[in-house]
Amino acid sequence: MKNFLIFVCTIICYSILIYLDKTYISTSSKIFDFLSKDYPSDVVQNYMESQKKWWWVSYAVTPVLIGIKVLLVAFCMNFIKLLDLPGLEKVKFSDFVFLALIAEFVFVLAGIYKFVNFYCLDTDYTLETLQTYYPISLINLREQISMEKWLAYPLQLVNLFELFYWGILAYGIYELSGGKLKPVKSFGLVTMTYGVGLLFWTGVVCFLILSVQY
């Protein structure tokens, strides 16, 4: 029940962010200006009409995507139990789910940061800039690093919020062990489980981008 309530709160937060983005950031005028550069006006108009018709899809898909993400993170973290470490003998899979749900609020804060940045600070933006931007990440230095499309996702992952996410997972493991594991070792366990899973997922995404690109 506790995990379900936190999950509902998370979905509500993400839904609010989606609403704010569609209403104030990814506006119809921004989408129209972006698409009109490459497509005829009738094609763009049809796309805009379909967007209005299917406005609810992003809200409906969000709980599914967040649920899958949380379960996958908990699944990776659950491998820690195989190491038979002190203090973690009685830890359940639901405890890792709870930890992943709590850590997910870091990315809610990232969404708030992104909204504030484009709504209040960097107001002269394009939709392309909006799509490639991620708060406090190396993707914002993409022009200085590389223009390769397949590097966009890895560069997005290297950000301060992701580091906070790892930190919360590590602290959660420390708490679950009753303080028997040192914080440094807890962070190492996150690297061995969630870190390996994230590396595998990043490799898959980069491979798919390269496959489409070439």
What digits encode the pLDDT tens for the residues 160-193?
999 999 999 999 999 999 989 998 999 999 999 9
74-92: pLDDT as tens digits: 999 999 988 888 888 889 9
Task: Name residue 137's beta-bridge partners.
Answer: 159
**Residue whose C-alpha is closest to residue 104's, from 210, 36, 171, 10:** 10
* Rounded Cα–Cα distance for residues 95 and 83 (Å): 17
User: What angle do helix axes 57-77 and 93-116 make, rounded to 10 degrees?
Assistant: 130
pLDDT at 51 over 60: yes
Q: Which amino acid is at 147?
A: M
Q: What predicted TM-score, i.e. pTM, was given to this entire model? A: 0.91
Side chain identity at residue 156, one-letter code: Q
pLDDT at 142 over 80: no
Give residue 24's Cα distance to chain centre. 21
Quote the mean pLDDT of the chain: 89
- The answer to whether 128 and 139 are in contact (CB under 8 A) is no
Q: Which helix (H) or strand (E) holds 155?
A: helix 152-157
Residue 152: name the closest of 168, 166, 140 by CA.
140
Say if residues 25 and 115 touch (Cβ distance below 8 Å): yes
